[in-house]
Amino acid sequence: MTISSDKIVTAIAHTNIALIKYWGKRNAEFIIPYTGSLSLTLDQFYTQTSVQFDASLDQDSVSIDDQLIDGNGWQRVHDFLNIVRQQSDITLNARVKSENHVPTAAGLASSASAFAALAAAASRAAGMDLDLQALSRLARRGSGSACRSIFGGFVEWQRGTNDSDSYAVPIETPNLNDIRIVALTVEKHHKPISSRQGMALSVTTSPYYPTWVKVVESDLQSIKTAINADDFTRFGTISELNAMRMHALTLSANPDFLYFTGDTLEAMNEVKRLRHSGIECYYTIDAGPNVKVICQKQNAAAITDTFSKMFGPEKVTVAQPGPGVKYL
Ligand code: PMV
């Protein structure tokens, strides 16, 4: 295909927080998960990425926050661009410029917004005009959770069985519109093991993995019922349970590993204390030490206040449901 080398396409994608977690691939090349998952796209954290295919480049050039990157980070983007080149039948190298408005590698799912924005910008820069389902499938090849960041609000990743039927769909007419996520960035850099390695270790060594696969099916049903019924208590309870069930897979892996730090545990205890005192809130935690507190609009200020005193106001961000991918 002939494409002009000066077409720069810029896309923005917001990150998402999984409430029913994706933890384990049944096919690592195509990133087909063992289970479905369900998330909420957040308005506060996003990645903006520009892509230009350019005949004058002798290799892909990738910068994140104005820093040229190499090594594993470059390789991952390059591998993803190869998928785009294969699908669009072009051979040119690309210039990728990405700005992350997410603390990286700290469990705020920066790979989700990063690969969703890259999929949108690179596919269009390569001359493709993908619909949202195809874009979700493409983003999935970069990072599983990225397939959910194509859409705004509540999103379900339907696990499927192969490349063509594993993609995310928005949950239509959701209730719980007053939901808030108070994100506590207790630590920016602590991540003992990547989610990719961590989930592979859990799948192959945790004796509880088969039980996880079963339990996620019922957790997914429960949370969808709760969303439809506008039942915040059920919604929060199942989110917290599912997160802990995922982290139990890290503790039961061989060798075992843990994403929590002391601050993580303190924040979890505080959420329970708040809840017992009548301020309804729940926690969820991804593959990192940071805690996201799930609450409703009317309690967000009190919760923010409590955690600002505990960790400092700069560590606390209140997010609400955010939009799907868009082009600038
Ligand atoms: O998409 P990945 O490889 O970054 O894995 C995401 C894993 C979790 O964030 C822990 C769960 C999820 O569903 O997002």
**Burial (Cβ within 10 Å: 0-12, 13-18, ≥19) of residue 191:** middle
Backbone phi, psi, residue 53, to 5°: -85, 130
Q: Kindly tell me if the per-residue pLDDT of 177 is higher than 90.
A: no
Does the beta carbon of 196 lie inside 6 Å of ligand 1? Answer: yes
Number of domains in the chain: 2
Does residue 109 line the site of ligand 1, with CB under 6 A? yes
pLDDT tens, position by position, 33-56: 999 999 999 998 899 999 999 999
Of 263, 247, 261, 251, nearest to 191 by C-alpha is: 261
Which residues are bridge partners to 293 per DSSP? 182, 283
Q: Which residues are 96's β-sheet partners?
A: 51, 62
Q: Pick the last residue of a domain from 121, 139, 174.
A: 174
Tell me the pTM: 0.95
Whether residue 46 contacts residue 101, with contact meaning beta carbons closer than 8 Å, is answered with yes
The pLDDT of residue 105 is above 70: no
Secondary structure class of 178 (helix, strand, coil): coil
Place of tokens 């990192």: 288
The reply to whether 57 and 141 lie within a common domain is yes
pLDDT tens digits, one per residue of 248-286: 999 999 999 999 999 999 999 999 999 999 999 999 999
Question: DSSP character for 28?
Answer: T
Structural domain ending residue among the three candidates 174, 201, 222? 174
Ligand 1 center to residue 24 CA distance, Å?
9
Instruction: List the one residue out of 245, 238, 161 whose CA is nearest residue 210.
Output: 245
Most confident region among 107-111, 190-194, 246-250, 318-322 by mean pLDDT: 246-250
Task: Check residue 176 and give its pLDDT.
Answer: 79
- pLDDT at position 186 is 87
Ligand 1 pocket test: pick from 20, 72, 157, 195 the residue with the most ligand atoms within 8 Å of its Cβ: 195
Contact (Cβ atoms closer than 8 angstroms) between residue 90 and residue 3: yes
Q: Are residues 247 and 272 in the same domain?
A: yes
Give the model confidence (pLDDT) of 118-152 as tens digits. Answer: 999 999 999 999 999 999 999 999 999 999 999 99
CA of 70 to the centre of ligand 1 (A): 23
| Cβ neighbours, 10 Å, residue 99 | 17
- For ligand 1, whether the C-beta of 37 sits within 6 Å is yes
Number of other CB atoms surrounding residue 122 within 10 Å: 30
Q: Which of 15, 21, 30 has most ligand 1 atoms within 8 Å of its beta carbon, as the pocket-test mutant?
A: 21
Domain that holds residue 300: 179-319
d(CA 145, CA 107): 12
126 lines ligand 1 (CB under 6 A): no
Q: Are residues 122 and 87 in the same domain?
A: yes
What is the pLDDT averaged over residues 72-95? 96
- Here the CATH number for the domain that contains residue 251 is 3.30.70.890
Q: Is 111 in the pocket of ligand 1 (CB under 6 A)?
A: yes
- The reply to whether 71 falls in a domain is yes
**CA nearest neighbour of 200 among 27, 46, 56, 2:** 27
Q: Residues 6 or more apart from 272 whose CB is under 8 A from it?
A: none
Helices 110-125 and 132-142 sit at what angle, rounded to 10 degrees?
A: 120
* Number of neighbours of residue 208 by Cβ within 10 angstroms: 15
Q: Which atom of ligand 1 is nearest to the CA of 146?
A: 1
User: Is 159 in the same domain as 31?
Assistant: yes
Residue from 15, 22, 158, 245 whose mutation best tests the ligand 1 pocket (most atoms within 8 A of CB)? 22
Q: What is the CATH number of the domain that holds 51?
A: 3.30.230.10
- Going from the Cα of 110 to the center of ligand 1, the distance in angstroms, rounded, reads 10
Do residues 284 and 18 make contact, with C-beta atoms less than 8 angstroms apart?
Answer: yes
Q: Is 156 in the pocket of ligand 1 (CB under 6 A)?
A: no
Q: What are phi and psi of 240, to 5 degrees?
A: -65, -45
